């Protein structure tokens, strides 16, 4: 059995109702998200493909990558995509003390705010790496104003055991209006991403479905 679910069950949504899993009232839009960047080569390629399709997305950035590749981060901003916090060091909340986890999230937020042209919002977006954070961590982040963004479709582009075609199937068989879909702008996912992303955007275009960034 795979250690992840491609389609998040509805009962999970109900277990954690304060987290955002999808936008069920969205009649004609989906929300593509990209975790783990920004990095050279991969993130600029994603930005360019999205631009070709006039699509907007949300990038959940690792603070350390933002610090190292501020110029790539600025490209995301300049193209009008939304930004989210993905911790500074890609921490697993289940194996990290709450104080350390929150400090790492705040360090990531500081790294975003130090980049020229980035304008933080009063309601920042946050996605936990691996989807793993404790109830205490979740509550603390929400008290600090973060919106915790999860997903209802996982492409599994990170999984070396599945084929490019299976990755595409994961998305196309499960995506629907209001879906939040997870991709990764990382070197590990790049091969699958190059195959899958244009085909997903073609599918959305043919079916007149908008691709929007998350703003709350």
- The mean pLDDT of 79-92, rounded to a whole number, is 97
- The mean pLDDT of 95-119, rounded to a whole number, is 92
Let me know if residue 100 belongs to a domain. Answer: yes
Let me know if residue 1 belongs to a domain. Answer: no
81 is an active site residue: no
pTM: 0.96
Q: Cα–Cα distance between 155 and 162 in angstroms, integer?
A: 10
- The mean pLDDT of 170-192, rounded to a whole number, is 97
The structural domain count of the chain equals: 1
Q: Cα–Cα distance between 196 and 154 in angstroms, integer?
A: 13
Q: pLDDT-derived band of residue 89, with 50, 70 and 90 as boundaries?
A: very high
Question: 20: burial class by Cβ within 10 Å (0-12, 13-18, 19+)?
Answer: buried
Question: How much of the chain exceeds pLDDT 90, in percent?
Answer: 91
Tell me, what's the pLDDT at 118?
75
- The mean pLDDT of 108-133, rounded to a whole number, is 88
| Pair 152, 26: CB distance under 8 Å | no
CA end-to-end distance (rounded Å), the chain: 35
- The mean pLDDT of 42-67, rounded to a whole number, is 98
- The mean pLDDT of 12-26, rounded to a whole number, is 93
* Length in residues, the chain: 216
Let me know if residue 79 belongs to a domain. Answer: yes
Q: Cα–Cα distance between 146 and 177 in angstroms, integer?
A: 24
DSSP 130: G
Tell me, what's the pLDDT at 119?
72
Tell me, what's the pLDDT at 126?
98
- CATH number of the domain bearing residue 26: 3.20.20.370
Let me know if residue 202 belongs to a domain. Answer: yes
Give yes or no for a cis peptide into 189 (omega within 30° of 0). Answer: no
Q: Which of 69, 81, 86, 184 is catalytic?
A: 184
Q: pLDDT-derived band of residue 2, with 50, 70 and 90 as boundaries?
A: confident
Q: Which of 35, 157, 159, 185 is catalytic?
A: 35
35 is an active site residue: yes
Give the residue numbers spanning the domain of 106. 10-211
Let me know if residue 5 belongs to a domain. Answer: no
Q: pLDDT-derived band of residue 1, with 50, 70 and 90 as boundaries?
A: low
């Amino acid at each position: 059995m795979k250690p992840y679910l491609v389609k998040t069950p509805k009962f999970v949504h109900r277990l954690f109702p304060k987290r955002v899993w999808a936008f069920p009232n969205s009649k004609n839009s989906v929300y593509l998200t990209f975790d783990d960047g920004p990095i050279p080569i991969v993130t600029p390629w994603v930005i360019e493909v999205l631009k070709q399709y006039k699509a907007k997305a949300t990038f959940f950035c690792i603070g350390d990558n933002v610090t190292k590749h501020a110029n790539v981060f600025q490209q995301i901003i300049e193209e009008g995509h939304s930004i989210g916090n993905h911790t500074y060091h890609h921490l697993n909340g289940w194996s990290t003390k709450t104080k350390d986890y929150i400090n790492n999230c705040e360090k990531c937020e500081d790294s975003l705010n130090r980049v020229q042209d980035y304008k933080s919002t009063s309601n920042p977006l946050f996605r936990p790496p691996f989807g793993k954070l404790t109830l205490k961590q979740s509550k603390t982040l929400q008290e600090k104003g973060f919106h915790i963004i999860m997903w209802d479709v996982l492409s599994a582009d990170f999984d070396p055991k599945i084929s490019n075609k299976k990755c595409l199937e994961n998305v196309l068989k499960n995506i629907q209006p209001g879906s939040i879909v997870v991709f990764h702008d990382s070197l590990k996912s790049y091969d699958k991403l190059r195959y899958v992303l244009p085909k997903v955007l073609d599918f959305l275009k043919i079916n007149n479905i908008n691709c929007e960034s998350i703003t709350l």
